[in-house]
Amino acid sequence: MTDEETPTGDDPPAVCLGTLLTERDETLATAESLTGGLVGSRVTGVPGASAYFDRGYVTYSNDAKRRELGVARETLDEHGAVSGPTAREMAVGARDHADTTWGVSTTGIAGPTGGTPEKPVGLVYVGVAYAAPWGTEASFSRSARTVFSGDREAVTRASADRALTALVQAIRDVANQE
């Protein structure tokens, strides 16, 4: 799937997400760093979002990630705020603190400064966490790494799109395994 494609052809990812969560009677919480609430804004821009969207956490600083989401100090020390392990812990923290079915997170470097050779401007990690029914041992968390090009706004928009698309795909993966 390319960045320009959406999960259901003409439907934006947020609309598709709303349909899936409503049909499955599942809920969502977001944890955002570089997107600053854009993912949550896109989710709540869909009529009826109150049926499945619980809350959003905007945790820009490391302290906020630790306090609000329970991201381990060791994770931040070892991997940094912009990493797969941090994205996973953010998604799990949002899911578990809000007691929702799903958590999705974004962390990255939107630019124009702040990049390094190892972590360039445009580097983004999206985390997804699922709370399966108790006793099924099917709960999971995962993250995906992407590097986007463009200015700060373009990176932020692309990151929000990727988060919603990744979440839609994860929900479809779970549904296909049932």
CATH class of 27-177: alpha beta
Closest Cα partner for 7 from 167, 155, 178, 127? 167
pLDDT at 26 over 50: yes
pLDDT at 40 over 50: yes
pLDDT at 10 over 80: no
Residue with tokens 């578990």: 96
pLDDT at 3 over 70: no
pLDDT at site 9 = 54
- Domain layout of the chain by residue ranges: 27-177
The amino acid present at 20, given as its one-letter code, is L
pLDDT at 92 over 50: yes
* pLDDT tens digits, one per residue of 46-59: 999 999 999 999 99
Closest Cα partner for 161 from 38, 8, 24? 38
Report the run of H or E that residue 144 belongs to, with start and end: strand 140-147
Is-contact 143 88, C-beta < 8 A?
yes
pLDDT at 143 over 90: yes
* pLDDT tens digits, one per residue of 97-139: 999 999 999 999 999 999 999 999 999 999 999 999 999 999 9
pLDDT at 8 over 70: no
Is-contact 40 33, C-beta < 8 A?
no
Q: Which residues have C-beta within 8 Å of that of residue 58, sequence separation ≥ 6?
A: 32, 33, 36, 37, 64
Q: How far is CA 78 from the centre of its chain?
A: 21
Locate 128 and state its tokens: 């997804």
- 45 falls in which pLDDT band (50, 70, 90)? very high
If you average pLDDT over every residue of the chain, what do you get?
94
- 1 falls in which pLDDT band (50, 70, 90)? very low
pLDDT at site 11 = 86
Locate 40 and state its tokens: 């949550």
